[in-house]
Amino acid sequence: MALLGATAVGLGAYAAHGMASWAEQSTIATVNTAVRYQMWHTLALMGALVWQQLAPRLPLCPVIALWLGGTAAFSGSLYALALGGLSVGLVTPLGGLLLIAGWLALGVTAWRSGRCRQA
């Protein structure tokens, strides 16, 4: 998680300060989108890891795997497009689907834990 957070901050700073001299605004916006999704999912992963420590029997590994894969595919493909000019086709939407699947898996896990039904 630390590496995800650190790269999000570093790439966000680069988009804000280092790209202005050579990149178009749309390219900077693409990097900012990737950074935003990466940082939010880094925070969500940290929350899932805390929850895993508090309730070790909860099956959060699928959630964590989906978010890690989704962040790598979604944000990684946007970085490749913006910074390397590489078109990676359907990787970005696949990453988005993995992120959504992670959130749905989190909801199912919460529901099955019984905590949502007790409230």
**Which amino acid, one-letter code, is at 37?**
Y
What does the pLDDT look like over 10-36, one tens digit per residue? 999 999 999 988 999 999 999 999 999
- pLDDT attached to residue 113: 85
- What average pLDDT does the structure give for the chain? 93
Angle of helix 61-84 relative to helix 91-113, nearest 10 degrees?
A: 160
Q: Can you tell me whether residue 71 is helix, strand or coil?
A: helix
Report the 10 Å Cβ neighbour count for 99. 22
- pLDDT attached to residue 117: 57
Residues of the chain falling short of pLDDT 50:
none
CB 75 within 8 A of CB 34: yes
Q: Which residues contact 28 (CB under 8 A, 6 or more apart)?
A: 15, 19, 20, 82
- pLDDT attached to residue 118: 55
Q: What is the pTM of this model?
A: 0.90
